[in-house]
C-alpha cells in the first residue's frame, strides 16, 4: 500500500498532488544539473532537517494540474507521524522493487529525526548512492491515503513565495493604512465633538456672563435708588383727611388755577402739598389748621399748601 506520486489524489477530503521531496542538507549534494530546490518546511521542533522540493518538478505539476495544491511525500508522512525510526535505513516503497529512502547517521541516535542525513530513490532494490548497503534490516513504511491530514502549508516555488510574501506585506500595509485612516477620522471626529462642546459651553458662559453683568448693573441702580429709611406718610395722610373732612370739595390744583405756579406737579412725593378749596368757602382753613398756608383767589377759592415734612403746628 503506497500513495500515488505526481497525480491527483484525494486526501483529507481534498484533491492534492503528492510529489517526491528530499530531506536533509546532504540530499542537496545528490542533485542533478539544472535542478533547483526550494524549501518546503524548515527544521522541525524535534530537530528534523529541512525538507526541499525540486522547482522544475513543481512547475511541471503546476502546468499539468493547474490549481491543485502540491505537497511533498516526506512532508506529508512527518506531518502525520507516519515515519518510524530506529534503523540506519528507512524505506517507503513506491513500486514492487523501487521507492524512496531516508538515511540516518549510524553513529547518532537512530530514533531521533535530527539524525537524518539525507534521502533519495532506489530502484531494483538497489541504492546507487550507497553500494553495498544492506536493505534487509531497513524499516519499511506502509502508508496509504486513508486517515491522513494535510500539512499546514503546501509547496511553493521561490517566485510564488516571493509573490505570496509581497501580497501579505501589501495586505498588512493596507490594514495598517486603514487603521491609520480610522485613527485619523476618529481623532478628527473627537476633536470636532470637543470643539463643538467647547463652543457651546463658551457661548453658555458668555451668555451667563452677560446676564451677570446685566444683573450687576440692575443691582447698582437699585442700590442707588433704594430707600435708606422706610417712608412714613401718616402725618400727610392725616392732614389731607382733616382737610377733606372739613371741605369735601377740596381738589388738587392745576396750572390754570389762579395763584398756582406754572409747571407745578401734583405728585404726592413733592415736599409742598397744594390743594384748592371749594368756591365761596366761608372759612379760611389756615385759621383752623395752623400748619396750612392759604391764599384767596378772585374766584372765591383758596389755594392751600403745607410742608409735608414739617410737623410745625400739627395738632
pLDDT confidence bin for 172, thresholds 50/70/90:
confident
pLDDT of residue 72: 94
Angle at 10 between CA 53 and CA 92, to 5 degrees: 50
pLDDT confidence bin for 163, thresholds 50/70/90:
confident
Ranges 31-35, 172-176, 220-224, 241-245: which has the least confidence: 31-35
pLDDT of residue 131: 79
CB-based contact 19:70 (threshold 8 Å): yes
pLDDT of 258 over the 90 cut: no
pLDDT confidence bin for 259, thresholds 50/70/90:
low
| Structure-model confidence comparison of residues 232 and 146, the more confident one | 146
Average of per-residue pLDDT across 107-125: 91
pLDDT confidence bin for 235, thresholds 50/70/90:
confident
pLDDT of residue 312: 60
pLDDT tens, position by position, 186-201: 888 898 889 889 899 9
What is the Cα–Cα distance from 139 to 94, expressed in whole angstroms? 14
Model confidence pTM above 0.85: no
pLDDT of residue 76: 95
Please report how many Cα atoms fall inside a 13 Å half-sphere around the Cα of residue 44, on the Cβ side: 18
pLDDT of 39 over the 80 cut: yes
Amino acid at each position: 500500500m503506497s500513495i500515488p506520486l505526481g497525480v491527483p489524489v484525494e486526501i483529507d477530503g481534498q484533491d492534492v498532488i503528492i510529489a517526491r521531496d528530499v530531506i536533509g542538507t546532504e540530499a542537496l549534494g545528490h542533485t542533478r544539473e539544472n535542478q533547483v530546490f526550494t524549501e518546503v518546511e524548515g527544521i522541525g521542533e524535534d530537530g528534523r532537517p529541512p525538507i526541499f522540493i525540486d522547482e522544475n518538478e513543481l512547475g511541471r505539476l503546476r502546468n499539468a494540474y493547474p490549481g491543485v495544491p502540491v505537497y511533498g511525500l516526506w512532508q506529508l508522512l512527518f506531518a502525520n507521524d507516519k515515519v518510524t525510526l530506529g534503523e540506519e535505513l528507512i524505506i517507503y516503497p513506491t513500486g514492487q522493487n523501487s521507492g524512496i529512502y531516508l538515511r540516518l547517521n549510524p553513529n547518532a541516535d537512530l530514533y531521533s529525526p535530527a539524525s537524518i542525513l539525507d534521502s533519495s530513490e532506489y530502484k531494483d532494490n538497489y541504492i546507487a548512492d550507497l553500494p553495498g548497503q544492506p536493505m534487509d534490516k531497513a524499516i519499511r513504511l506502509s502508508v496509504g491515503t486513508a486517515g491522513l491530514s494535510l500539512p499546514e502549508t503546501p509547496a511553493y516555488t521561490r517566485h510564488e513565495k516571493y509573490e505570496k510574501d509581497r501580497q501579505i506585506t501589501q495586505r498588512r500595509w493596507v490594514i495598517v493604512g486603514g487603521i491609520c485612516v480610522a485613527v485619523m477620522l476618529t481623532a478628527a471626529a473627537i476633536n470636532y465633538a470637543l470643539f463643538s462642546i467647547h463652543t457651546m459651553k463658551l457661548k453658555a458662559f458668555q451668555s451667563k456672563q452677560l446676564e451677570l453683568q446685566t444683573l450687576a448693573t440692575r443691582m447698582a441702580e437699585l442700590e442707588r435708588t433704594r430707600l435708606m429709611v422706610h417712608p412714613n406718610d401718616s402725618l400727610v395722610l392725616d392732614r389731607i383727611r382733616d382737610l377733606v373732612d372739613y371741605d369735601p370739595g377740596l381738589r388738587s390744583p392745576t396750572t390754570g388755577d389762579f395763584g398756582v405756579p406754572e409747571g407745578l406737579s401734583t405728585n404726592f412725593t413733592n415736599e409742598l402739598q397744594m390743594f384748592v378749596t371749594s368756591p365761596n368757602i366761608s372759612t379760611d382753613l389756615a385759621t383752623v389748621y395752623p400748619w396750612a398756608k392759604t391764599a384767596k383767589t378772585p374766584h372765591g377759592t383758596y389755594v392751600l399748601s403745607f410742608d409735608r415734612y414739617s410737623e410745625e403746628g400739627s395738632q
